[in-house]
Amino acid sequence: MSVLVVGGAGYIGSHTAQALKRRGYEVVVYDNLSTGHAVLADGLELVVGDISDTAKLSQVLRRVDAVMHFAAFAYVGESVENPRKYFKNNVQDGLTLLNAVVDCKVSKFIFSSTCAVYGIPARVPITEDLPRLPVNPYGASKLAFEFALEAYGRAYDLRFVSFRYFNAAGADETGKIGEIHAPETHLIPSAFEAIGGERGALQIFGDDYPTPDGTCVRDYIHVNDLADAHVLGMEYLENGRSAKLNLGTGRGYSVREVISTIERISGRKVPTQMAPRRPGDPAELVADPSQAEKVLSWKAKYSLDQIVATAWSWAQSRKKTGK
């Protein structure tokens, strides 16, 4: 069985591509390398191409049984300033990919969705049946694609899983792949940059939220736990079903709790500075992952300590190797 991993030279895509390979799938990575890195696809077949290129896509789609789609822009702040970029890539070009998939008669599709589709949730932990009311263009672009998949699933011979990720973090233990973003905006790698003096103090975006210590609470999930869920999602599709599933741990940590975990694991002080709230940040986003646990027989295994430890090793090795 062969899987086309679109966006497989990116952060979550590369970890999933490796997990598929370990499980015995034939993997073809398709990536335009605009934000991906060829080094993250080392050891795999890499086709450099864009999701808007139907001809190139069709060539590779004819030789695979399933598609996983990770190729998207994912900066919330940027999506507010430049929504056109997000709707073009995540919706318009995403639909070009989806149409090519259907035209080439590939009937299994896994989509990287996000907890941002829920917007500011009416309750936490978040279950899949909560209303989808995104509060930024990034979340809206992902929701538009979810709607398309649901309609295509009903109309055509297409089975799909939409995985709504919470906060992906950590790196593979091999030290070969991990997070590479430019610019880096995510909390854990940003804190590492502050430790290393590669940026100024880490800004804590707001400490007046209605949470126990006033800082935002998020559900941090290890990227290999996400990757494992995708492999199981593939098996679920092989059994002929579709689903929309949260992928999180069910446990939230505040920004301050993450910072003190980073300090404990790294043995270094994180220089911090208080800053105003970041627009569009809900106070608390924590998954109820019970649906994914039930239908996939999956459970997130990595703790926050392991997430931080693997991310820290990766950041240190990148400095040494210059990756």
Catalytic residues: 138
Asked if 18 interacts with ligand UFG (CB under 6 A), we say: no
Going by the DSSP 8-state scheme, the letter that residue 73 receives in this structure is -
Asked if 76 interacts with ligand UFG (CB under 6 A), we say: yes
Asked if 185 interacts with ligand UFG (CB under 6 A), we say: yes
Instruction: Give the DSSP H or E segment for 168.
Output: strand 167-169
**Residue with smaller CB distance to ligand UFG, 255 or 309:** 255
Q: Is the dihedral of CA 95, 96, 98, 102 positive or negative?
A: positive
Span from 89-97, 111-119, 231-239, 288-296 in contact with ligand UFG (CB under 6 A)? 111-119
**Residue with smaller CB distance to ligand UFG, 225 or 281:** 281
Beta bridge partners of 30: 6, 47
Asked if 218 interacts with ligand UFG (CB under 6 A), we say: yes
Q: Cα separation of 273 and 231, whole Å?
A: 40
Span from 103-111, 201-209, 244-252, 293-301 in contact with ligand UFG (CB under 6 A)? 201-209
How many alpha carbons lie under 13 Å from residue 107 in its C-beta half-sphere?
Answer: 12
Asked if 219 interacts with ligand UFG (CB under 6 A), we say: no
Span from 12-20, 61-69, 244-252, 277-285 in contact with ligand UFG (CB under 6 A)? 277-285
Q: Considering only CA atoms, which of 235, 253, 247 is closest in space to residue 293?
A: 247
Q: Cα separation of 161 and 111, whole Å?
A: 6
Q: Considering only CA atoms, which of 188, 193, 215, 192 is closest in space to residue 204?
A: 215
Q: How far is the CB of 76 from ligand UFG (least distance, A)?
A: 5
Residue type, 200: G
> For tokens 């295994």, what's the residue?
301
Q: How far is the CB of 255 from ligand UFG (least distance, A)?
A: 5
Residues for the chain: how many in total?
323
Listed in order, strand segments (DSSP E) in 269-311 are: 272-275, 284-285
Q: How far is the CB of 279 from ligand UFG (least distance, A)?
A: 10
Instruction: Output the six-digit token pair for 240.
Output: 């002929």
Q: How far is the CB of 138 from ligand UFG (least distance, A)?
A: 5
Residues 246-265 that bind ligand UFG (CB under 6 A): 255
Span from 110-118, 222-230, 245-253, 311-319 in contact with ligand UFG (CB under 6 A)? 110-118
Q: Cα separation of 132 and 119, whole Å?
A: 7
Among 203, 242, 291, 303, binds ligand UFG (CB under 6 A): 203
Residues 119-178 that bind ligand UFG (CB under 6 A): 138, 167
Contact 300, 249 (CB under 8 A): yes
Residue nearest to ligand UFG (CB): 216
Q: Which residues bind ligand UFG (CB under 6 A)?
A: 74, 76, 114-116, 138, 167, 185-187, 190, 202-205, 216, 218, 255, 278, 281, 285
